[in-house]
């Protein structure tokens, strides 16, 4: 059975992708950053399966700047497929830490490509790129040929990485693809991203645990899909006869206000009674009109985003309600 290596295995996408690949019979190796806090909760259910952990799922410590260790992991695990998900992924934070963002997101990708170039057995490679590469585009929806005009440090770093992947495919013949992913959410989304911040707050407010929700700009529009479906597209990209780039999106944009309405509706509340705005969460500049054209993915990968608003918000709110209820029951017992 095939072997895969995943950078960023402990994140939202990494955990869903690992479950998908394990269910398909893969052996999965994951790269984890060493830190004093163990943040692997999203993989917990796999660690408890005796026939999986340390039998078909292996974790290795490395940092994207640690070229020697990454090369060693690649030489030892000899993967057929390499999924590159790791990086500093918070757009707002990239204004505070632009150097770290470029170090991991841009240079980390180039370092991986350089290692791959020297390998005798080169795995098929997919880089998880982002709609942020388009920034303020001239055309909507965007497709694989839309010019990149990033307006955030994160977007600039991703544009560099994306173009390097294309360059290594065209110049060195690597099977290297970009999955140009638009926003994709789930109950496993980090709590600092707007969707999860909203669904967690809607659940907490409805249970009387919190009173208000403080956000930044409510005018932004995003193309929000469901993360488990997006990792399926990543896998399909590596099963194609030739490497290519694909926009992975729903094709529909909604505003932050739409996401608020769907989430608070799910608990029978009106968001306007609870939401305040705080300049701390405003960004110096923002991408606009970010909506993807998934036509190529639909045609070549037979992939379509099924879960959209309001269902996406309902799934996330329900999961947050369940988690808060469980935590209250633990505290009471
Ligand atoms: O949830 P967000 O932080 O997502 P953003 O910036 O679109 O980036 C996400 O999606 C990209 C595309 O797939 C990824 F590349 C990237 O790694 C990340 O996963 O913000 C969404 C919108 C923005 O317009 C933001 O200004 O929500 C607005 N917003 C309003 N208040 C807020 C807040 N965003 C955050 N994180 N926190 C707020 O309080």
- pLDDT value at position 269? 98
Q: Which residues pair with 225 in a beta bridge?
A: 184
Establish whether residue 193 lines the binding site of ligand 1, counting it when its CB lies within 6 angstroms of any ligand atom. Answer: yes
* DSSP string for 239-300: TSSS---EEE--S--EEHHHHHHHHHHTTT--GGGTEEE-GGG--SS---S--B-THHHHHH
Q: Which of 16, 88, 92 to mutate to test the pocket of ligand 1 (most atoms within 8 A of CB)?
A: 92
> Ligand 1 centre from 262 Cα, in Å?
17
Closest atom of ligand 1 to CA, residue 91: 6
- Split the chain (333 residues) into runs of 10 and give each run's mean pLDDT: 96 96 97 74 86 92 91 96 94 96 96 96 97 96 98 98 98 98 97 97 98 95 98 98 98 97 98 97 92 98 98 98 93 85
Q: Determine the Cα–Cα distance for residues 250 and 185; give it in Å rounded to an integer.
A: 12
CB 5 within 8 A of CB 27: no
Establish whether residue 101 lines the binding site of ligand 1, counting it when its CB lies within 6 angstroms of any ligand atom. Answer: no
Closest Cα to residue 171, out of 117, 125, 133, 124? 117
- pLDDT value at position 224? 98
For the chain, give every domain's residue range. 3-185+225-248, 194-221+253-290+310-332
208: left (phi over 0), alpha (psi -120 to 50) or beta: left
From residue 7, how far is each of 15, 27, 70 by CA, in Å? 11, 14, 10
Which residue's CA lies nearest to atom 31 of ligand 1?
A: 216
> Ligand 1 centre from 303 Cα, in Å?
24
Same fold, 3-185+225-248 and 194-221+253-290+310-332: no
CATH code for the part of the protein at 3-185+225-248: 3.40.50.720
> Ligand 1 centre from 3 Cα, in Å?
33
- pLDDT value at position 47? 84
| pTM, full prediction | 0.96
- pLDDT value at position 41? 85
Instruction: Please name the fold of domain 194-221+253-290+310-332.
Output: UDP-galactose 4-epimerase; domain 1 (3.90.25)
Q: Tell me the three-class secondary structure of 143-182, residue by residue.
A: CCCCCCCCCCHHHHHHHHHHHHHHHHHHHHCCCEEEEEEC
Which residue's CA lies nearest to atom 39 of ligand 1?
A: 215
From residue 156, how far is each of 98, 105, 160, 226 by CA, in Å? 10, 10, 6, 25
Beta strands 57-61 and 81-84, pairing class: unpaired
DSSP-derived letter for residue 49 is -
> Ligand 1 centre from 112 Cα, in Å?
27
- pLDDT value at position 206? 98
- pLDDT value at position 37? 61
Establish whether residue 92 lines the binding site of ligand 1, counting it when its CB lies within 6 angstroms of any ligand atom. Answer: yes
From residue 160, how far is each of 87, 132, 166, 289 by CA, in Å? 13, 12, 10, 21
Number of H helices, E strands in the chain: 12, 13
Establish whether residue 12 lines the binding site of ligand 1, counting it when its CB lies within 6 angstroms of any ligand atom. Answer: no
> Ligand 1 centre from 192 Cα, in Å?
9
Catalytic positions = 182
Beta strands 176-181 and 124-130, pairing class: parallel
Establish whether residue 253 lines the binding site of ligand 1, counting it when its CB lies within 6 angstroms of any ligand atom. Answer: no
Closest atom of ligand 1 to CA, residue 218: 30
Establish whether residue 266 lines the binding site of ligand 1, counting it when its CB lies within 6 angstroms of any ligand atom. Answer: no
Establish whether residue 216 lines the binding site of ligand 1, counting it when its CB lies within 6 angstroms of any ligand atom. Answer: yes
- pLDDT value at position 60? 94
Establish whether residue 53 lines the binding site of ligand 1, counting it when its CB lies within 6 angstroms of any ligand atom. Answer: no
Radius of gyration of the chain (CA): 20
């Amino acid at each position: 059975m095939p072997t895969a290596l995943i950078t960023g295995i402990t994140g939202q996408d990494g955990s869903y992708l690992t479950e998908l690949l394990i269910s398909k019979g893969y052996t999965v190796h994951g790269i984890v950053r060493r830190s004093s806090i163990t943040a692997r909760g999203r993989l917990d259910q796999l660690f408890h399966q005796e026939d999986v952990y340390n039998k078909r799922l292996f974790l290795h410590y490395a940092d994207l700047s640690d070229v020697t260790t990454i090369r060693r992991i690649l030489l030892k695990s000899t993967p057929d497929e390499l999924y590159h998900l790791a990086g500093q992924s918070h757009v707002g934070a990239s204004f505070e830490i632009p150097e770290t963002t470029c170090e991991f997101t841009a240079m980390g990708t180039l370092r991986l490509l350089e290692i791959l170039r020297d390998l005798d057995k080169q795995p098929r490679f997919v880089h998880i790129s982002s709609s942020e590469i388009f920034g303020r585009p001239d055309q909507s929806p965007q497709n694989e040929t839309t010019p990149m005009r990033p307006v955030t440090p994160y977007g600039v770093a991703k544009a560099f990485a994306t173009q390097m992947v294309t360059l290594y495919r065209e110049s060195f013949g690597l099977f290297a693809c970009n999955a140009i992913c638009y926003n994709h959410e789930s109950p496993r989304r980090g709590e600092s991203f707007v969707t999860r911040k909203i669904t967690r707050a809607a659940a907490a407010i409805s249970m009387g645990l919190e009173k208000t929700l403080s956000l930044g700009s409510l005018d932004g529009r995003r193309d929000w899909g469901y993360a488990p479906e997006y990792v399926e597209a990543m896998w399909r990209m590596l099963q194609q006869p030739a490497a290519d780039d694909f926009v992975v999106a729903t094709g529909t944009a909604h505003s932050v206000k739409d996401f608020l309405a769907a989430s608070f509706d799910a608990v029978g509340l009106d968001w306007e009674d609870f939401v305040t705005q705080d300049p701390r969460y405003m960004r110096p500049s923002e991408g606009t009109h970010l909506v993807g054209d998934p036509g190529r993915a639909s045609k070549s990968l037979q992939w379509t985003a099924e879960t959209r608003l309001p269902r996406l918000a309902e799934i996330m709110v329900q999961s947050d309600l369940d988690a808060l209820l469980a935590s209250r029951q633990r505290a009471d017992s």
